[in-house]
Structure 1
Amino acid sequence: MADFTQIRRSEHLPTRIAAEIGREIADGRFAPGQKLPTEHLLAQTFGVSRSVVREAIAHLRNEGLVETRQGVGAFATELAQRQSIRIEAGTPGDKGAFRDLFQVRFALETESAGLAALHRTPDDLMKLDEILAQMTGAEKWGEQGVVADLAFHRAVAAATHNEYFQQFVGFITERTHVAINAARAAAILEEIVEVTIAEHVAIRDAIATGEPAAAKTAMKRHLNGAARRLNLELEMS
C-alpha cells in the first residue's frame, strides 16, 4: 500500500525546478520574450543533470510559460500566449487528490490511445519504440526510467495529432511523476518495473494495430493497474 505521507518528500526534481523557474517568470525576473539560461547553465545552477533540466523545461512548455526554438533555446512566452490552466506542484498531496488525478487521466488518456491508433504514423511508432527502449534499458530502475515512462504518455498524445490532447496530457504528466515515485516506493521495484513495462508494450502494440478499441483497452488496463499500485479505487469502467 502506498504511503501518501511520503508523496511530497518524493516529489521529483524536474517538478521542483519547473516550479522555481515558473515563479521567476511569473514574478517578472524573466520578461516576456526573454531567453532563459542555457540547459548547461541551469543544470549547474540547480546541481542536476541536463536531462532533468530538459524535463523541467518540457513542463513549463506544456503549461504555456515557455516556448522552445530548435537550436536556439527556451524563451518566456508573451503574456497573451500563456495558458490559463496550471497544475500547482503541491496540490496532489493526499489520496483523494491522487484519485481525482487518475480519474482525469483515465478519461483523457484512454481516448488519447484510441485516437493514436487511428492517426499514428510510422514516425509516431518509431518514437514509441525509442522510448520503450529507454524504459527497458540499463537505467530502467532509476530516474531515467521514470522520465521515459512519462515521455511515452506524451508520445501517445502526440500520435493523436490533436494539439489539445497533447496540451492536456502535458498538463497532467508533471503530477503523474509523483504517482510513479509513490508506487515504486510502495512495492518491490523489480516487480513493478517489469509489470509497468509490459503494460506500456501492450499499449504500443495495440496502437500499432490501428484498432482504437484495443488501444483503449490496453490503456485502461495500464491506468487501472497503476491506480491499484497506489491502492486507489477509480470507480471508472
Structure 2
Amino acid sequence: MSDFTHIKRSEHLPTRIAADIGREIDERRILPGQKLPTEHSLAQTFGVSRSVVREAIAHLRNEGLVESRQGVGAFATEIQHRQSIRIGTSQLNDRENFRNLFHVRFALEIEAARLAALHHKPEDIAKLDVALAQMTGAEKWTEQGIVADLAFHKAVAAATHNEYFLQFISFIAEKTHIAINAARASAVLEKIVEITIAEHVAIRDSIASGDPDKAKTAMTDHLEGAASRLNLDLGP
C-alpha cells in the first residue's frame, strides 16, 4: 500500500481519505479481497482520528468498493460482487485494459445502434442532428468537437429508450474522451475529423431510415475506424 500524505485540514477529510483509498483499490495496490489496514493504522497514516477513518470506510462501503466483516475488518470487495463501476484514468493508460474497454464498447454501441433504428422517435433524430451540427461547425477542430462527438453517442444510446444502454454508454463515452484526444494528436487533424464526421452521418442516416442492419453496419464501421486510428488491434 502506498504511503499517504497528511490531508489538508481545509478539505472534507473523510471524502478525501475515501478517494485516496479508492484510488489504491482502482490501481490494484490494494487487491480485490485484500484486507485494508486497521482503523488505528489508517488514522496514524493520515494523521486523523479513527472516527474520520470510519466515515471514510463507510463512504467506500456505500460505493461498493469495500465490505466490512464483523470482528475481522474491512476488505476490498471482490470484483464480481461490486455494485458500482469505477475505472481510474491510470488504468486506461495500460493498453490491454483500454483494449478490453473497447471490446465492451463494441458490444454495447453496435447493439444500441440496432435498437435505436427500431425504437427511435423524431426527437431522437433531432438530438443526433444537433450533435452533428456541432461536430461539423466552426468548433469541430476544438475540444467542443470532441464534446459533440460524445453527445452524439449518448444520443444514440438514448434513442434505444433503454435507460441501461444510456447509463453504460454514457460512462464509457466519458472514458473514451481521452482516446479521442489521443487519436487527434497522432493524426492529420483535418483528415481524421472529416472521416469521423462522415462515419457519424452514416450512423445517423441508418438509424433515421429505421434499418437495424444498416445501423449495426454503420456503427461497426465507425468503431473499427476508431480502433484503427488508435492503432488498437482488437483481435479476432
| TM-score class, shorter | 0.5 to 0.7
Map 1:1-237 to 2 at 5 A. Answer: 27=15, 84-235=84-235
Aligned-pair CA distance for 1:97: 2.0
- Find the aligned partners of 1:98 and 1:235 in 2 and give their Cα distance: 13
Cα deviation digits, residues 116-155 of structure 1 (max 9, x gap): 0000000000000011000000000010000000010000
Total equivalences in the alignment? 165
- Normalized against structure 2, the TM-score is what? 0.65
Q: Which has the larger radius of gyration?
A: 2
Q: Is the 8 A contact 1:117 1:209 kept in 2?
A: yes
Change (3 A) 1:27 1:119: same
Please report the RMSD computed on the Cα atoms of aligned residues, expressed in angstroms.
Answer: 2.4
Aligned-pair CA distance for 1:24: 7.0
Aligned-pair CA distance for 1:175: 1.2
Aligned-pair CA distance for 1:186: 0.6
Cα deviation digits, residues 132-185 of structure 1 (max 9, x gap): 000000000010000000010000000000011011101111111011001001
Cα deviation digits, residues 78-127 of structure 1 (max 9, x gap): x69xx611222221003222211211111110000000000000000000
Post-superposition, which runs of at least 4 consecutive aligned residues in structure 1 deviate over 3 A?
23-26
- Find the aligned partners of 2:190 and 2:184 in 1 and give their Cα distance: 9
Give the partner amino acid of 1:125.
Answer: I
Give the partner amino acid of 2:184.
Answer: R
Give the partner amino acid of 2:160.
Answer: T
Give the partner amino acid of 2:15.
Answer: D
Structure 1: state its 5+ residue gaps. 1-22, 30-78
- Find the aligned partners of 2:95 and 2:88 in 1 and give their Cα distance: 16
- Find the aligned partners of 2:14 and 2:112 in 1 and give their Cα distance: 31
Structure 2: state its 5+ residue gaps. 1-10, 18-61, 64-82
Give the partner amino acid of 1:161.
Answer: H
Aligned-pair CA distance for 1:214: 0.5
- Find the aligned partners of 1:26 and 1:215 in 2 and give their Cα distance: 47
- Find the aligned partners of 1:179 and 1:227 in 2 and give their Cα distance: 10
